[in-house]
């Protein structure tokens, strides 16, 4: 359930109005710049208002019932109108063959770019320097599962089809993307090794990991280390997500340890090949630059839009493949199924620069789980055989 948005105070409304004015100016400048595709015709006001009301109904936005709320709604309509104008222009360019992806009315369609960045992004750490080889950090057990390399890599893999990915979740207005990314990777390796796919608790990490900052941001490797030190993690059903920081439930933290990991591996930085080798064996946590307007409104296709390498969002790579000769990563996000391709984004793979698209190859890591026991070893080997078949 999405939290109800409270009416903004006057100062915040003024800030929103200023942000809207800047956004409109930027859009106008872009429309007058040299482009191959002319800007599409402006939508009629009645059509925009009808689309806005339908969008609000779909995403649970309340109608204003006081003067302040009514003023905010009018400003939100103008933000929505400007975003829609941008979406239409980008899709016209996609229709002309300039992009391999399309935009749409995502849950962030009434937010300015700065508001979106403040609400949806939460990766706060970054590994310093590039590592020449994988670094393994463990809690004592050795990681024994074989790892495909080079020519042994499958051309494509989708861990969703292999039963190692839970349903898309929603971090709501909590900047806990880092916890969602880490949990998705833990869910994946746990399913691969044990044969059981279990939805695990992001809230436990947000509440109980004292190294990170909960809904104010964190780092996936720290989340892995928390689970190692804690001796495991609880299920989502027993320790559910509440959309905000909570108080650590010590009883559940100490007693309910449904899934465990034994260590984690930091993938060599700035190498899409190294990332591919890792994804070939399990889902992998990555940090990306998701701060762009095109990312905010992404709807479908292989994303090749503008983005940098200022890593600010944690997601999980759950596969890779190709479409029409274009290589791509399959990335699980935590912004609900209303964003992107039912909660996923496909991002361009094998780009000319070592960082990967949006820095996807700069800071990747994955948890490891001991396979020394015969039953878990057999389960892991069965999955690996399916991958390499």
CA 168 – CA 150 distance, rounded (Å): 31
CA 287 – CA 235 distance, rounded (Å): 24
Contacts of 174 by beta carbon, 8 Å cutoff, 6+ apart = 122, 206, 214, 215, 243, 244, 245
Whether the CB-CB separation of 235 and 199 falls below 8 Å is answered with: yes
Annotation marks residue 177 as catalytic: yes
Annotation marks residue 333 as catalytic: yes
| Residues paired with residue 346 on neighbouring β-strands, in sequence order | 302, 330
Q: Residue 49, exposed/middle/buried by CB under 10 A (0-12, 13-18, 19+)?
A: middle
Annotation marks residue 358 as catalytic: no
DSSP 98-150: S-SEEE---TTTTS-HHHHHHHH--B-----S--SS-EEEESSPPP------G
Identified catalytic residue from 177, 208, 215, 248: 177
Identified catalytic residue from 170, 190, 222, 333: 333
Whether the CB-CB separation of 265 and 368 falls below 8 Å is answered with: yes
Identified catalytic residue from 83, 215, 313, 358: 313
Q: How many residues does the chain have?
A: 389
- Tokens coding 274: 């190294």
| Residues paired with residue 303 on neighbouring β-strands, in sequence order | 347
Helix intervals (H) in the chain: 10-32, 45-59, 67-95, 113-120, 177-194, 202-208, 220-230, 250-255, 272-279, 293-296, 374-388
Whether the CB-CB separation of 143 and 323 falls below 8 Å is answered with: no
Q: How many CA atoms within 13 Å lie on the side-chain side of 9?
A: 1
Angle between helical axes of 67-95 and 45-59 (0-180°, round to 10): 110
Active site residues: 177, 313, 333
């Amino acid at each position: 359930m999405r939290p109800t948005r409270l009416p903004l105070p006057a100062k915040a409304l003024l800030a929103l109005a200023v942000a809207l004015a800047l956004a409109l100016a930027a859009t106008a400048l872009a429309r007058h710049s040299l482009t191959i595709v002319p800007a599409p015709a402006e939508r009629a006001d009645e059509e925009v208002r009808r689309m806005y009301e339908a969008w609000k109904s779909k995403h649970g936005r309340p109608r204003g019932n006081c003067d302040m709320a009514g003023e905010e709604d009018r400003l939100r309509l103008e933000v929505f109108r400007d975003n829609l104008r941008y979406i239409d222009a980008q899709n016209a360019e996609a229709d002309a063959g300039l992009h391999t992806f399309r935009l749409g009315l995502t849950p962030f369609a009434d937010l300015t770019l700065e508001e979106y960045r403040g609400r949806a992004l939460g990766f706060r750490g970054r590994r310093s320097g590039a590592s020449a080889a994988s670094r393994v950090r463990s809690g004592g057990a050795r990681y024994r599962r074989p790892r495909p390399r080079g020519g042994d890599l499958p051309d494509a893999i989708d861990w969703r089809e292999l039963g190692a990915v839970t349903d898309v979740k929603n971090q709501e207005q909590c900047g806990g993307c880092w916890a969602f990314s880490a949990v998705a990777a833990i869910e994946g390796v746990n399913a691969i090794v044990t044969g059981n796919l279990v939805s695990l608790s992001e809230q436990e990490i947000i509440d109980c990991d004292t190294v990170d900052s909960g809904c104010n941001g964190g780092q996936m490797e720290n989340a892995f280390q928390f689970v190692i030190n804690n001796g495991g993690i609880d299920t989502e059903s027993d320790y559910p997500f509440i959309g905000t920081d909570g108080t650590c439930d010590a009883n559940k933290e100490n007693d309910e340890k449904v899934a465990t990991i034994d260590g984690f591996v930091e993938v060599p930085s700035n190498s899409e090949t190294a990332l591919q080798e890792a994804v070939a064996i399990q889902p992998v946590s990555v940090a990306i630059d998701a701060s762009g307007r095109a990312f905010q409104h992404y709807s479908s296709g292989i994303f090749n839009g503008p983005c940098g390498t200022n890593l600010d969002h944690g997601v999980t790579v759950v596969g890779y493949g190709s479409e029409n000769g274009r290589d791509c990563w399959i990335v699980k996000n935590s912004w609900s199924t209303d964003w992107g391709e039912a909660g996923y984004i496909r991002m361009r793979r094998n780009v000319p620069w070592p960082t990967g698209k949006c820095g996807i190859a700069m800071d990747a890591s994955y948890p490891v789980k001991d396979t020394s026991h015969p039953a878990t070893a057999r389960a892991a080997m069965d999955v690996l055989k399916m991958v390499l078949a």
